[in-house]
Amino acid sequence: MAFIDGTVVNIALPALQTDLHASLVDVQWVIEAYSLLLAAFILTGGSLGDRLGRRRIFLAGTVIFALASLGCAFAATIGQLVAARAIQGLGGALLVPGSLSILASSFSEKDRGRAIGTWSGFTSITAAAGPVLGGWLIDHLSWRAAFVINLPIAFAVVVISLCFIPESRGEQGGGKLDWPGALLAGVGLGGVVYALLESSNLGWSHPRIWGALILGVAASICFLAVERRAADPMLPLELFRSRNFAGANLLTLFLYTALTGVLFFFPLNLIQVQGYTATAAGVALLPFILLMFFISRWSGTLFDRFGGRRPLIIGCSIAALGFALFAIPGVGGSYLTTFLLPILVLGLGVATSVPPLTTAVMSAVPSKHAGAASGVNNAVSRVAGLMAVAVFSIVMLRIFEPRLDEGLSHTSLGAAAQAEIRSQSSRLGATQLPKDLTASERASAERVIGSAFVAGFRAVALISAALALLAAVTAGRMIGERKSPRDAS
């Protein structure tokens, strides 16, 4: 469900942006509301599983996620959709860390790499079906139908979990939950994200922006202070004494920031600029997902054979090349000559990196901290995605708006038409053109908007390539050549 949701919602963004008359900031909140609650409470979700039972919390998250998906499907306004997405994120915070901690507690260290590789492959199966089925539903029914996909999957998850997954707990089963830490994490992330997103509307000089930023930073500092003194912290800071654990999470931050930034704007590029249908946009991502499926089980064994360093250096370097290739295509051209090669190269790099990275995280800490380690790594990846959407959107707008102004000034459009188009710059490729334009004027305006969007997307792709290279450097400097013993920390 989590993998399908991540891919389908991005493809649904252009349709819901049009249907709900949403700006770029509005659709950012559709993504960020989910990511914010997920990132803020995913550590608590991992701790809850260790204390109250991993299967129990996993099932609770599944049910909440499914009910919130139903709320998304029936949302009448952008505000209702954002609220439902926030609840969905809360369910995900219970659901996501449970899967990996259940695996870590169910398999011996000798078999754990292969098990996690298999897990990655099977999540890729569902992720492969999601964009295609979701795109078809969006084209033939509505973007709302894309959220309904989660309901039958949730039913299957509940049945399979009750029948086949044994209950397990961490050794500290009766400890107190760190609710102050969870709340401070939510306020800290929320304040920073609000400032980044709303700065596009209000400007950086607005008191609400500075107030939110100061609140977010202060809450984040307080969060670290609370975690350092808490008897049962949701973020055990001693885990970061392991160089492998700290390095793997820093690498996660770089790689997932890059991946989320490109994959957020790529469907918008395909649908709003390149003229793809939602179904075609879903199919366009299939090579990436299929590579994840076919390679993940094999790459999961690389850690067992070579340790984490070499697979991660190679995988992240290949991913950097893939990101850079996304900066080459302009407007137009066939899929085979524009985006297929970048998708294949990126898919190869990510598929080579993710299973060894996940295994490096889970193998760097004692098994009693499996839930916490899974939660920390998932939280880092979600924080990376959270910040990527906010920061890359600022980059996109800063490049899109001046390119749009410059392009419009070289067209034959009247001053009123140009002003109307400029007033919608926050909608990027979803800008609605004045109805009284001639066919040639409409084609000219569409070329200008498309070129401005591509310029911004190229910047996002190149920054992502630089981040992936930083991930490769991090692997070389901080990840051990061979995996460390489970009791190393």
For 262-287, the pLDDT digits (tens) are 988 998 899 888 989 888 888 888 88
What pLDDT is attached to residue 316? 92
**What pTM does this model have?**
0.77
Mean pLDDT of the region 210-227: 89
The pair of three-digit structure tokens given for residue 171, joined into one six-digit string: 């050794």
Q: Among 24-28, 369-373, 408-412, 445-449, which range has the highest average pLDDT?
A: 445-449
Cβ-contact 105, 121 below 8 angstroms: no
- Domain 2-167+234-400+453-478 sits in CATH at 1.20.1250.20
CA distances from 485 to 87, 363, 481 (A): 38, 8, 13
- Asked whether residue 28 carries a pLDDT value surpassing 50, the answer given is yes
Torsion of Cα atoms, 342 then 344 then 348 then 354, to 10°: 80
- Asked whether residue 323 carries a pLDDT value surpassing 90, the answer given is yes
Mean pLDDT of the region 403-421: 85
For 327-368, the pLDDT digits (tens) are 999 988 899 999 999 999 999 998 888 878 877 777 777 666
Cβ-contact 417, 434 below 8 angstroms: yes
What is the rounded CA–CA span in Å between residue 32 and residue 192? 12
